[in-house]
């Protein structure tokens, strides 16, 4: 496209204007000439046609007149007495005199020949037909053809002077007395060279020349000029309506409206019409020439006038573009140019202002702005960039670090967030291409000094890492401490339980119970800390199993009813769930949730009641367990409600002192609820009470179809095994080992205790009587999992291995099972857990061994 407007192809405006004028005028002239020509032709043709028609009528009229005069004369003389007498007396000289007399009076009306026919022969004639070379027999012959009527008879007859064309007419001569026809007066007109007829038509018909023709033969003419005698020319010209030199018209003569074979060609000089047409064309040519001259003059004048004004307009535009300042437009005498000039002036001023604003933006920007060309060369710096990169080295480094990105930008990409570190300062650059006509002309790189941000970011990152590390250390410490505390505590509790079962004195039993309860409480706090630490580390898992909901509600009722009774607080547990229905969920966690909520309610209520409602409801295709705990206790302030789920937070600073607790209970409850995909809500009013609502999705059914295994009833230790079972106990901790051993012995088992994996393997290599291995996890020298692997893989023994692990984590459990363990017991070992494990052992391994 652009090539079309190269310099060579450009036209001046004046040329375009005048060319247009020329074109319009040219077209106008052509149209005018054509139209004139057409009109002229039509007018001339119509005029010629009309004239020809008039000439035809005139010729016919003259011919008719001439014939009529002949007829009248003939008819009147045929009744003349002198003629009759002359005829009756057969006086030829008298007849001759009679006709001579007439012809002398009016020679113009005399026919070419006359004769009188009577009694079968010519009785008188004027001897004229002989003059025309026609013999008497020929005349008689013609006369015989005319037997009746008074019509003109046109015929041809050969004569001594060639073929003669004749017009003849007869009239009866009647005896006035007898009324008898005594003869016939014949008159005849010879058409060949009939000058009198030709002259009469020439005169009357306003024609220059007349030609009388029969078919294609000219028989009489007013001119001797042979040029006119060509019948084809005459024929052609008679049909033409064009303005030619001669106007020829043809009249086919009729007599009493009966067509004849005679035609009359009239020739009229047409010089004046031709002249008129010619002068008309000359005038058109002169007028066209005149218009052309005016157009040329106009072209030159417009060209000069428009060019001058345009030149000054263009000069103004050029100088305004080249100079930085914008001068005022001087104005133009052409209105449009004047307006264009003023628009230019306004646009230049606005552009100038915009340019200044942009320059200000560039110059006064506090961030460094640089301009690059597409080859990656630095073209311009703003003052801020100059300040930032003062030294040559800094500039070189800037170019080196930004150049690859500038080249990418030159392809049209916009790049953001490019960091460069130069002279200990970090800049973040945004690169954008500046495009003109969809091609990249320049690239602008705008920078921001982010050194301080980076520093702050680093510091905050370090602080975060530090905080995380300290949280981890704290959490680890808590976990380890709890673990370490739990082991001796388990010892205390285990021994207390053993002692209690052996005591008889009720007071001793009571003391021992206080010991047990305190130990249980301490264990609960430690368990809370451990649980929370696990939750924080994301190592907490839900284990679902089928259980009766009644187990849950009964336990709560059994535990808290005596406590409330002692405080004088009413306690009730309600449920809309059938006591026989089964729930599939994590019983332990649900227990934990309910225990925490109810124990808080009981703890913070001094009068009134604590109410527990456990309901099932269907919502959105899911069965929800809705647990509500109402109390009429001390309540919580509204402002504290949002914080009490946070760990180690208590509503009042005095709470610990007055009520004890660690502030972890609700944090654990909220985490458990959320792990179980449920929700917890709280409503509370100070001094009125608190209402907790928990929603947890569960599966509910009347049969334990989803029950993984039959839990069965607890077995009586003394009677569970029929024979003594040899157990290998692998445990490094003395207390734990003592308790485990004591429990095992209740079942009549023989217990061999070894302190680590290596000893266990050594023992197993020698002894093959072991029926069950109880394997601890964390052991010195060789760990429980590794020892299990060796027993299974290297020793190839299939003795059931029941692992005992303190952390209760899924990972450890799975590792044990993968290594070849058959069952995992979670420590601290409780009697009930051990009972369950032994029941499992009996069913799956001991009985089978017996069967073998």
Q: Is 523 in the site for ligand ADP (CB under 6 A)?
A: no
Cβ closest to ligand ADP, residue 262 vs residue 651? 651
Strand, coil or helix: 412? coil
Which one of 303, 663, 701, 748 is in contact with ligand ADP (CB under 6 A)? 663
Cβ closest to ligand ADP, residue 111 vs residue 665? 665
* Interatomic CA distance for residues 107 and 100, integer angstroms: 9
Segment contacting ligand ADP by CB under 6 A, of 37-45, 138-146, 481-489, 595-603: 595-603
* Interatomic CA distance for residues 402 and 150, integer angstroms: 132
Edge-to-edge order in the sheet of strand 750-754: 750-754, 726-730, 772-776, 801-805, 823-826
Q: Is 536 in the site for ligand ADP (CB under 6 A)?
A: no
Cβ closest to ligand ADP, residue 3 vs residue 642? 642
Residues 142-171 that bind ligand ADP (CB under 6 A): none
Residues 683-702 that bind ligand ADP (CB under 6 A): 690
Interface size with ligand ADP, residues (CB under 6 A)? 22
Cβ closest to ligand ADP, residue 42 vs residue 658? 658
Q: Is 569 in the site for ligand ADP (CB under 6 A)?
A: no
Per the CB < 8 A criterion, the answer to whether 636 and 651 are in contact is yes
Q: Is 529 in the site for ligand ADP (CB under 6 A)?
A: no
Under DSSP, the state recorded for 638 is G
Torsion (CA) 315, 317, 318, 322 in degrees, nearest 10: 140
Segment contacting ligand ADP by CB under 6 A, of 259-267, 511-519, 539-547, 663-671: 663-671
* Interatomic CA distance for residues 376 and 278, integer angstroms: 81
Cβ closest to ligand ADP, residue 26 vs residue 608? 608
Cβ closest to ligand ADP, residue 513 vs residue 646? 646
Per the CB < 8 A criterion, the answer to whether 521 and 563 are in contact is no
Minimum distance from residue 795 beta carbon to ligand ADP (Å) = 49
Q: What is the DSSP string of 35-84?
A: HHHHHHHHHHHHHHHHHHHHHHHHHHHHHHHHHHHHHHHHHHHTT-HHHH
Minimum distance from residue 567 beta carbon to ligand ADP (Å) = 14
Cβ closest to ligand ADP, residue 341 vs residue 633? 633
* Interatomic CA distance for residues 394 and 377, integer angstroms: 15
Per the CB < 8 A criterion, the answer to whether 264 and 59 are in contact is yes
* Interatomic CA distance for residues 765 and 774, integer angstroms: 17
Q: Is 222 in the site for ligand ADP (CB under 6 A)?
A: no
SS3 sequence of 813-851: HHHHHHHCCCEEEECCCCHHHHHHHHHHHHHHHHHHHHH
| Positive/negative CA dihedral, 339, 340, 341, 343 | positive
Under DSSP, the state recorded for 100 is H
Q: Is 673 in the site for ligand ADP (CB under 6 A)?
A: no
Which one of 604, 624, 630, 802 is in contact with ligand ADP (CB under 6 A)? 604
Q: Is 633 in the site for ligand ADP (CB under 6 A)?
A: yes
Minimum distance from residue 778 beta carbon to ligand ADP (Å) = 29
Q: Is 666 in the site for ligand ADP (CB under 6 A)?
A: yes
Q: Is 110 in the site for ligand ADP (CB under 6 A)?
A: no
What counts of helices (H) and strands (E) characterise the chain? 24, 26
Q: With DSSP H G I counted as helix, E B as strand and the rest as coil, what are the percentages for the chain, rounded to 5?
A: 50, 25, 25
Minimum distance from residue 594 beta carbon to ligand ADP (Å) = 13
Cβ closest to ligand ADP, residue 494 vs residue 678? 678
Bridge partners (DSSP) listed for residue 575: 614
Cβ closest to ligand ADP, residue 655 vs residue 752? 655
Report CA Rg, the chain: 74
Nearest CA-CA partner of 252 in 242, 241, 238: 238
Q: How far is CA 58 from the centre of its chain?
A: 86
Bridge partners (DSSP) listed for residue 728: 752, 773
Cβ closest to ligand ADP, residue 642 vs residue 852? 642
Q: Is 651 in the site for ligand ADP (CB under 6 A)?
A: yes
Q: Is 341 in the site for ligand ADP (CB under 6 A)?
A: no
* Interatomic CA distance for residues 680 and 342, integer angstroms: 76
Q: Is 600 in the site for ligand ADP (CB under 6 A)?
A: yes
Cβ closest to ligand ADP, residue 679 vs residue 786? 679
Cβ closest to ligand ADP, residue 394 vs residue 524? 524
Segment contacting ligand ADP by CB under 6 A, of 127-135, 220-228, 310-318, 655-663: 655-663
Q: Is 665 in the site for ligand ADP (CB under 6 A)?
A: yes
Dihedral pair phi/psi, residue 364, rounded to 5°: -95, 0
Minimum distance from residue 604 beta carbon to ligand ADP (Å) = 4
Cβ closest to ligand ADP, residue 183 vs residue 665? 665
Minimum distance from residue 665 beta carbon to ligand ADP (Å) = 3
Q: What is the DSSP string of 329-374?
A: P---SSHHHHHHHHHHHHHHHHHHHHHHHHHHHHHH-SS-EEEEET
Minimum distance from residue 661 beta carbon to ligand ADP (Å) = 2
Cβ closest to ligand ADP, residue 115 vs residue 630? 630
Residues 64-93 that bind ligand ADP (CB under 6 A): none
Cβ closest to ligand ADP, residue 62 vs residue 634? 634
Query: 210 to each of 64, 255, 613, 700, how far by Cα in Å?
Result: 16, 19, 145, 138
Which one of 634, 698, 700, 804 is in contact with ligand ADP (CB under 6 A)? 634
Which one of 112, 536, 586, 631 is in contact with ligand ADP (CB under 6 A)? 631
Which one of 40, 206, 545, 662 is in contact with ligand ADP (CB under 6 A)? 662
Segment contacting ligand ADP by CB under 6 A, of 237-245, 279-287, 433-441, 598-606: 598-606
Segment contacting ligand ADP by CB under 6 A, of 177-185, 279-287, 349-357, 599-607: 599-607
Minimum distance from residue 538 beta carbon to ligand ADP (Å) = 20
Cβ closest to ligand ADP, residue 536 vs residue 631? 631
Nearest CA-CA partner of 184 in 216, 226, 142: 142
SS3 sequence of 595-632: HHHHHHHHHCCCCCEEEEEEEEEEECCEEEEEEEEEEC
Minimum distance from residue 507 beta carbon to ligand ADP (Å) = 32
Residues 806-845 that bind ligand ADP (CB under 6 A): none
Q: Is 644 in the site for ligand ADP (CB under 6 A)?
A: yes
Cβ closest to ligand ADP, residue 541 vs residue 691? 691
Minimum distance from residue 596 beta carbon to ligand ADP (Å) = 6
Bridge partners (DSSP) listed for residue 415: 431
Strand, coil or helix: 641? coil
Which one of 202, 482, 490, 650 is in contact with ligand ADP (CB under 6 A)? 650
| Interacting residue ranges for ligand ADP, rule: CB under 6 A | 596, 600-601, 604, 631, 633-636, 644, 650-652, 655, 661-667, 690
């Amino acid at each position: 496209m652009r090539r079309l407007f190269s310099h060579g192809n450009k036209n001046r405006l004046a040329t375009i204007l005048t060319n247009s004028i020329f074109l319009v005028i040219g077209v106008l002239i052509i149209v005018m000439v054509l139209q004139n020509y057409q009109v002229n032709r039509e007018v001339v043709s119509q005029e010629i046609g009309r004239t020809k028609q008039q000439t035809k009528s005139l010729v016919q009229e003259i011919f008719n007149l001439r014939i009529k005069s002949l007829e009248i004369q003939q008819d009147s003389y045929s009744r003349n007495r002198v003629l009759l007498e002359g005829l009756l007396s057969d006086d030829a000289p008298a007849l001759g005199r009679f006709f001579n007399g007439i012809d002398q009076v009016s020679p113009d009306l005399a026919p070419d020949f006359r004769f009188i026919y009577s009694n079968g022969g010519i009785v008188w004639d004027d001897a004229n037909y002989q003059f025309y070379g026609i013999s008497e027999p020929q005349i008689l012959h013609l006369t015989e053809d005319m037997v009746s009527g008074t019509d003109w008879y046109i015929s041809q007859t050969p004569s001594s002077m060639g073929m003669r064309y004749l017009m003849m007419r007869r009239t009866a001569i009647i005896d006035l007395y007898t009324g008898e026809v005594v003869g016939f007066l014949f008159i005849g007109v010879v058409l060949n060279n009939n000058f009198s007829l030709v002259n009469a038509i020439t005169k009357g018909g306003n024609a220059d020349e007349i030609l009388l023709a029969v078919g294609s033969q000219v028989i009489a003419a007013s001119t001797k000029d042979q040029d006119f005698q060509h019948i084809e020319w005459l024929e052609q010209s008679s049909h033409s309506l064009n303005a030619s030199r001669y106007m020829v018209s043809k009249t086919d003569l009729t007599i009493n409206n009966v067509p004849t074979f005679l035609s009359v060609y009239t020739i009229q000089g047409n010089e004046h019409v031709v002249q008129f047409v010619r002068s008309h064309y000359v005038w058109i040519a002169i007028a066209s020439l005149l218009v052309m001259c005016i157009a040329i003059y106009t072209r030159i004048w417009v060209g000069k006038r428009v060019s001058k004004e345009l030149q000054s307009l263009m000069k103004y535009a050029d100088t305004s573009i080249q100079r930085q300042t914008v001068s005022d437009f001087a104005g133009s005498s052409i209105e449009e140019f004047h307006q264009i000039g003023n628009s230019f002036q306004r646009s230049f001023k606005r552009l100038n202002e915009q340019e200044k604003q942009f320059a200000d933006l560039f110059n006064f920007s506090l961030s460094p702005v640089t301009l690059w060309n597409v080859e990656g060369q630095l073209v311009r710096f703003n003052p801020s960039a100059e300040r930032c990169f003062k030294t040559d080295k800094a500039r070189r480094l800037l170019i080196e670090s930004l150049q690859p990105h500038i080249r990418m930008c030159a392809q049209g990409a916009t790049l953001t967030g490019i960091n460069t570190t130069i002279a200990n300062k970090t800049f973040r650059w945004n690169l954008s291409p500046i495009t003109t006509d969809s091609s990249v002309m320049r690239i602008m790189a705008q920078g921001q000094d982010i050194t301080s941000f980076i520093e702050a970011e680093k510091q905050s990152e370090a602080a975060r890492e530090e905080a995380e590390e300290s949280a981890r250390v704290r959490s680890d410490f808590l976990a380890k401490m709890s673990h370490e505390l739990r082991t001796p505590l388990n010892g205390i509790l285990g021994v207390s339980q053993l002692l209690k079962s052996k005591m008889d004195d009720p007071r001793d039993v009571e003391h021992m119970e206080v010991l047990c309860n305190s130990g249980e409480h301490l264990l609960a706090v430690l368990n809370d800390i451990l649980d929370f630490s696990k939750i924080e580390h994301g190592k907490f898992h839900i284990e679902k199993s089928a259980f009766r909901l009644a187990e849950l509600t009964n336990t709560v009722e059994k535990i808290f009813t005596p406590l409330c009774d002692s405080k004088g607080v009413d306690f009730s547990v309600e449920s809309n769930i059938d006591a026989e229905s089964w729930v599939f969920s994590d019983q332990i966690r649900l227990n934990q949730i309910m225990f925490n909520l109810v124990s808080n309610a009981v703890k913070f209520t001094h009068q009134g009641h604590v109410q527990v409602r456990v309901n099932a409801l269907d919502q959105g295709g899911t069965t929800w367990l809705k647990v509500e705990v109402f109390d009429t206790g001390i309540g919580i302030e509204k402002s504290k409600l949002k914080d009490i789920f946070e760990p180690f937070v208590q509503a009042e600073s005095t709470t610990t002192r007055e009520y004890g607790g660690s502030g972890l209970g609700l944090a654990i409850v909220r985490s458990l609820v959320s792990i179980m995909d449920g929700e917890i809500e709280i409503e509370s009013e100070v001094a009125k009470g608190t209402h907790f609502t928990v929603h947890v999705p569960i599966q509910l059914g009347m049969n334990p179809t989803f029950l993984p295994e039959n839990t069965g009833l607890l077995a009586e230790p003394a009677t569970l095994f029929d024979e003594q079972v040899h157990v290998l106990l692998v445990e490094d901790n003395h207390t734990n080992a003592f308790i485990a051993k004591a429990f095992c012995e209740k079942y009549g088992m023989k217990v061999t205790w070894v302190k680590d994996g290596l000893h266990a393997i050594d023992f197993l290599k020698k002894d093959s009587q072991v029926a069950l291995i109880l394997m601890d996890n964390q052991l010195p020298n060789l760990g429980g999992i590794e020892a299990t692997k060796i027993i299974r893989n290297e020793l190839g023994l299939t003795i059931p291995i029941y692992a005992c692990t303190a952390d209760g984590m899924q990972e450890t459990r799975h590792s044990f099972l993968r290594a070849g363990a058959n069952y995992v017991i979670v420590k601290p070992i409780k009697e009930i857990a051990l009972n369950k494990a032994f029941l499992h052992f009996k069913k799956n391994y001991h009985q089978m061994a017996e069967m073998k």
